[in-house]
Amino acid sequence: MQNNYTRIFNIKTHPNERNNGIKSHAFSIIGIILTIMLVILVFQGITEVTKSWITKIFLIPIILISLSVHEFAHAKIAVFLGDPTPRLMGRLSLNPLKHLDPVGTILLLIANFGWAKPVVVEPSNFRDPQRAMVSVALAGPISNMVLAFIGMLSLKILSFSQSFLIENNYIQILNLLPLTSEIINTFIVINLGLTMFNLLPIPPLDGSRLLSYFMPLKYRHQYNQFEQMAPLILLFFLMLGGLNTILTPMVRASYNFLASMFF
């Protein structure tokens, strides 16, 4: 029987999943994308159309990697705090194929929003379930913020390298810098978007677990009732684009904050 924490956090207990034997890794996907990009560059050069297409091609591995790191972080912290469930279900992996949800992936490709397969956690395995679940919930958004930080650091390194390339007349490499910067910027924005989106206090997002931790007990019953309809409300706002009004200023502010640390 599910306990209160399981119900509040919308977590279900399932039997252990067996490894399906898939040995693919995220690096193989990146290798394919890089090969396609190099072929395009060799035969067409970097035109505006080429830059646009390459950025769109890179969008797929960026999303896959960002979502995989997010779910891996959930699984890693859960296992670290004493719950073996994510490891037994094969979720302690950076392989995107371990984390993809079929419906969420299809929507991601055709509608620009989607989701990964949630990491299953059994709160009763933790010494302090409420506190542990907050840590597990925050691990995902924090991991995306770390990726955004790494992306901004990469932009700083590119800006340093530009003067060196000019001095040594590396024109071909210089021509790649605008494209590289655009790809890295896309990487930063997506990870900041995932951070801010998942921190929204709407079930089943990670922010709802944080809210439930600080919520007085007398409001838990009303919150549980809201939890049943919250995913539909969230989906409704996503389809209408209403969340863009909230998320865009948050992403812009967090981007400017990160940029102020390096530039």
- 3-state class of 92 per DSSP? coil
**Alpha helices per DSSP H over 112-241:** 129-167, 171-198, 206-214, 220-240
Active-site residue flag, 167: no
- 3-state class of 116 per DSSP? strand
Instruction: Calculate the CA dihedral of residues 112, 250, 200, 209 and round it to 10 degrees.
Output: 120
> Angle at which helices 206-214 and 129-167 pack, to 10 degrees?
130
- 3-state class of 5 per DSSP? helix
Tell me which of 48, 71, 182, 227 is the catalytic residue.
Answer: 71
What length does the chain have?
263
Q: Which residues are catalytic?
A: 71
